[in-house]
Structure 1
Amino acid sequence: MEQLSPFDIVLFGGTGDLSLRKLLPALYRRHRAGQLPEDGRIIATARTPMSREAFLDRVHDSYRERLDADELNETEWRRFAERLAFVPVDATDSHSYAQLAEALAGRDGRCRVFYLAVAPGLFVDICRNLQANDLVTPRSRVVLEKPLGHDLASARAISEQIGAIFPEEAIYRIDHYLGKETVQNLIALRFGNTLFEPLWRREWVRDVQISVAEQVGVAGRAGFYDRTGALRDMVQNHLLQLLCIIAMEPPTSIEADAVRDEKLKVLRALTRLEGRSALQNTVRGQYRAGAIGGQPVPGYLDEDGVDEDSRTETFVAIKAEIANWRWSGVPFYLRTGKRLQERNAEIVVNFREVPHSIFDVTYGTGLPNKLVIQLQPDEGLRLHLMAKARGDQMRLRPAALDLDFAETFKQRQADAYERLLMDVLRGRLTLFMRRDELYAAWEWIEPILEAWNQAADAPKPYTAGTWGPAASSALLGREGASWHEEA
């Protein structure tokens, strides 16, 4: 196991939802696994002053809610708590960084990570104030949570201003989907085996579907979400990153820039959707009142904090195409939404049917082969094949080869934030977005936003607890395809 160097992690937004729900539990689990060095400190910051004891109580209470009973070992908690400190900092006030500077004094030679678990509007202020207080050292790194801008111009402005303080190799733009075990297994599946590579191209793939479905609504984030929408919140980062991994050419190595160079080529090869083309190849929807798990839920316009005339989309479906030799003519269907029928995230590669069936249609089926990569709620791979049904006649029936990661690998798998935080501490950039990737993603997204803004159509309504607007199914139906759960 690689030994980490001593470090200081400074969590801006240290008492916020992301820190309490994801980051601090991830660090505790890595501590329990013995992966954190003894001299590894975690300093939480927040605007509201509180004592260290009050902060520890808040973290401990959060752990009781979120960790399994066998994980929250009191002896391990006390040892982990020794790493934790709390420093009140007003992110916008340079003078309030004095106490943080005192906490970091004499530790300039250690790896120093500034994790900005705050609103993007504070990113530049924090970085400038860190620089003004001489807290940015040659071994400093900064982690940026999405969204990285509201459009291309704001993304450029944020990147250029932060880039004037931190070099590009010290900037970690995090996308937790890329830390999932299944996504990394997808990289291994594609580039560690010869089995699929000859089939991974237009001659044998009919279409690719990438879906991220949520059952939750805006969950108290209406102020943010109503200004953002599903296209910016999910497609611009999560879904496009998954598309890149599925579609990219084999990199020369697993090193960061080798992988990110290939992802960038995919983003630049995406056929531009603008004007009429954008309206024909996209569907945007907005949920109405319905039921989730048998319980009634309000419509989006009835959520607290949502403008009664809001045209913000809570659902997006897109037909995308990649203009290169490998994928020309293969549709990539992207779909994401809130208040859908199930919580599910998956990538489905649908292969073409056999060129000529030797089986009588009475006995056969027209189902093609497909590879399903499941990201959540469970992680695994399933390869759908055709096999002979038992009996004295040549009847075919679908069969599947399953790889359930929880069943196959008995030990607990690190979650996405655990893995990505360890990559930050190790200086591994492979699973983090580079600046030119960010720009290329926005360059593809912006014309869609412009087409929607210019069109008079409101988002198509769909009932909460369904799979979204009927137009989403029609988008695939034009090509004789259907979403995986409809097949």
Structure 2
Amino acid sequence: MTTFVLFGGTGDLAKRKIIPALFSAFVNGRLDKNFMFIGAAREALADEDFRQRVSASIESYCAKDCGSTPEQLQAFLAKTHYAKIDAREAADFQGLKEKLHTSESNATLFYLATGPDLFEPIVQQLSVHDLVSGNARVVVEKPLGRDAQSARDINAALRKYLKENQIYRIDHYLGKEMVQNLLALRFANSFLEPLWNRKWIQDVQISISEQVGVESRGDFYDHTGALRDMVQNHLLQLLSIVAMEPPVNAGADSIRDEKVKVLRALHKFTPDEVSKKTVRGQYRAGAVDGKPVISYQAEPGVPTASRTETFVAIRAEIDNWRWAGVPFFLRTGKRMATRSAEITINFKPIPYSIFGASQRNLRSNRLVISLQPEESVELFLKAKEPGEGIRLSDVALNLDFAEASSSRRVESYERLLLDAMHGDLTLFVRDDELTAAWDWIDPIMSAWQSDTEGLKSYIAGSWGPAAASYLLAQSGSSWGEEFVEG
């Protein structure tokens, strides 16, 4: 039996993501019958009051997708309890200990959906009350630091009371089905490996675009920005999987060993290189899907003279034998033209075309891996168009995962929660991965802080500042949508 204790149990993340994911796992029979859920927060609530909030969360964010029945909801609520806990009050943890001792649990998963300033007080009290011994595990949410030093401080604080194999640093992007399929694509198909290197690949593009603005997170986001919020974790995790060497096996540490080698091999920028190889922008008023939207500086909680970036594009390079000289273009932004997450592998053009002008204006072969909104893999090849003569066009070999398999699609938080309960660390970030990523990000942040002129603006609903296109044009490339539009 597993007991799941959710600190920050009344917060927004719990309401929108964690509780619905937990309920989905329950409905689909992925939790054992004696499972128990305890929400924990500072607010004084009776169990029944918390159950009403849990029920409302499920109704808003899960009920239709989960395909649940009223009986299943009631069964889940019967396993749901609440504990009032102030992270700095030892007496509150004694009450939690008593609740846990009334269960028949042989493993406890503590999920810290709180600010990082509460990580150490919580795990300290869990340790003092002997709640993190044995099979206990602790999941910690981002942000895990604001720079390399603060990340090291957080890691050191956690390691005072926990072993590394008890710490599950969550990045929900790693729970996406298509991210895991990257491993299968890379290491289960013999025809790709000979091509997966600098000899055959022109460049790699990893892009995550969002149509939404900062919504209700203006105050938080303005102290974070796109570089910390998206590049340091999501984009660098995707880059490390794309670029990693074959691991010796599919074990958690074997995979993470190879990922951290990639992060350590990333070329660290000098201040001069930051100005030439990075672009940062901030959205101004525009229209998304035909609806007018306000500028970033007009968002609630955002200072009117804010210099925080909502868009980042970077030309990264990996200093190793496989990838030397191959640019990895990273891009993320809010209030973009569409919502998407894609990895594009652009292969080098053929050395000589026997078809003359009919092939000159075509893009070279490429592999497009879509993570959202739909999951697919497309390999673009050249083929002759029907009719007289030879006129070439792009033809996509398309693998649509929704059509290819009738199996239920598991949402990323549900997958990661189940992995944590089962003790599988493969899709969680190790401490050396975290610090290696921050070590690469720090010089960029430092250079931006001293550059008061480098922030570009872009119209909401566009693809970002023009400088991001120029970043690729210098290498003779373009972002995917520009090639289509052009």
| TM-score, normalised relative to structure 1 | 0.97
Matched, 1:49 2:44: yes
Aligned to 1:37: 32
Q: Does the aligned pair in 2 maintain the 1:63–1:72 contact within 8 Å?
A: no
Distance in 2 (CA, whole Å) between partners of 1:133 and 1:337 is 44
Distance in 2 (CA, whole Å) between partners of 1:52 and 1:369 is 58
Once the two structures are TM-superposed, the CA of residue 362 in structure 1 deviates from its matched residue by 3.8
Distance in 2 (CA, whole Å) between partners of 1:105 and 1:339 is 48
Distance in 1 (CA, whole Å) between partners of 2:174 and 2:110 is 20
Q: Give the letter for the 2:62 counterpart.
A: L
Residues 126, 363 of structure 1: alpha-carbon distance in 2 compared, 3 angstrom cutoff: closer
Q: After superposition, where does 1:466-481 map in structure 2 within 5 Å?
A: 466-481=462-477
Aligned to 1:3: none
In the TM superposition, what whole-angstrom CA distance separates every residue of 1:340-373 from its partner, at most 9, and x where no partner exists?
1111111110111112211121466432111111
Q: Does the aligned pair in 2 maintain the 1:9–1:114 contact within 8 Å?
A: yes
Matched, 1:465 2:461: yes
2:61 pairs, out of 61, 66, 81, with 66
Q: After superposition, where does 1:6-405 map in structure 2 within 5 Å?
A: 6-69=1-64, 71-105=67-101, 110-362=106-358, 365-405=361-401
Once the two structures are TM-superposed, the CA of residue 437 in structure 1 deviates from its matched residue by 0.8
Residues 454, 363 of structure 1: alpha-carbon distance in 2 compared, 3 angstrom cutoff: closer
Distance in 2 (CA, whole Å) between partners of 1:331 and 1:446 is 20
Q: Give the letter for the 2:457 counterpart.
A: P
Aligned to 1:434: 430
In the TM superposition, what whole-angstrom CA distance separates every residue of 1:258-301 from its partner, at most 9, and x where no partner exists?
10110011011101112111111000001111111211111111
Residues 185, 215 of structure 1: alpha-carbon distance in 2 compared, 3 angstrom cutoff: same
Q: Give the letter for the 1:26 counterpart.
A: A
Residues 262, 341 of structure 1: alpha-carbon distance in 2 compared, 3 angstrom cutoff: same
Q: Give the letter for the 1:407 counterpart.
A: E
Q: Give the letter for the 1:111 counterpart.
A: A
In the TM superposition, what whole-angstrom CA distance separates every residue of 1:424-449 from its partner, at most 9, and x where no partner exists?
01111111111111111010000000
Stretches of 4+ moved more than 6 A in 1? Answer: none
TM-align CA RMSD: 1.3
Once the two structures are TM-superposed, the CA of residue 107 in structure 1 deviates from its matched residue by 5.3
Distance in 2 (CA, whole Å) between partners of 1:304 and 1:360 is 56
Once the two structures are TM-superposed, the CA of residue 456 in structure 1 deviates from its matched residue by 2.5
Q: Give the letter for the 1:315 counterpart.
A: F
Report the 3-state secondary structure (helix = DSSP H, G, I; strand = E; otherwise coil) of the residue aligned with 1:306. Answer: coil
Once the two structures are TM-superposed, the CA of residue 109 in structure 1 deviates from its matched residue by 6.3
Distance in 1 (CA, whole Å) between partners of 2:105 and 2:295 is 53
Distance in 1 (CA, whole Å) between partners of 2:43 and 2:272 is 49
Distance in 2 (CA, whole Å) between partners of 1:17 and 1:110 is 29
Gaps in structure 2 of 5+ consecutive residues: none
Identical columns (%)? 51
Distance in 2 (CA, whole Å) between partners of 1:260 and 1:145 is 19
Once the two structures are TM-superposed, the CA of residue 322 in structure 1 deviates from its matched residue by 0.4
In the TM superposition, what whole-angstrom CA distance separates every residue of 1:231-269 from its partner, at most 9, and x where no partner exists?
011100100000000000000001011101100110111
Report the 3-state secondary structure (helix = DSSP H, G, I; strand = E; otherwise coil) of the residue aligned with 1:347. Answer: strand
Gaps in structure 1 of 5+ consecutive residues: 1-5
Once the two structures are TM-superposed, the CA of residue 318 in structure 1 deviates from its matched residue by 0.2
Residues 124, 353 of structure 1: alpha-carbon distance in 2 compared, 3 angstrom cutoff: same
Residues 449, 364 of structure 1: alpha-carbon distance in 2 compared, 3 angstrom cutoff: closer
Q: Does the aligned pair in 2 maintain the 1:364–1:397 contact within 8 Å?
A: no
Residues 363, 216 of structure 1: alpha-carbon distance in 2 compared, 3 angstrom cutoff: closer
Q: Give the letter for the 1:350 counterpart.
A: N
Residues 446, 363 of structure 1: alpha-carbon distance in 2 compared, 3 angstrom cutoff: closer
Q: Does the aligned pair in 2 maintain the 1:364–1:396 contact within 8 Å?
A: no
Q: After superposition, where does 1:404-423 map in structure 2 within 5 Å?
A: 404-423=400-419
Distance in 2 (CA, whole Å) between partners of 1:236 and 1:242 is 11
Distance in 2 (CA, whole Å) between partners of 1:158 and 1:482 is 39
Q: Does the aligned pair in 2 maintain the 1:108–1:137 contact within 8 Å?
A: no
Instruction: Select between 359-368 and 408-417 the one with higher mean Cα deviation.
Output: 359-368
Residues 364, 443 of structure 1: alpha-carbon distance in 2 compared, 3 angstrom cutoff: closer
Q: Give the letter for the 2:327 counterpart.
A: P
Distance in 1 (CA, whole Å) between partners of 2:196 and 2:395 is 21
Q: Does the aligned pair in 2 maintain the 1:351–1:368 contact within 8 Å?
A: yes
Q: Give the letter for the 1:125 counterpart.
A: P
Distance in 1 (CA, whole Å) between partners of 2:37 and 2:209 is 34
Q: Give the letter for the 2:37 counterpart.
A: I
Q: Does the aligned pair in 2 maintain the 1:320–1:331 contact within 8 Å?
A: yes
Number of matched pairs: 482
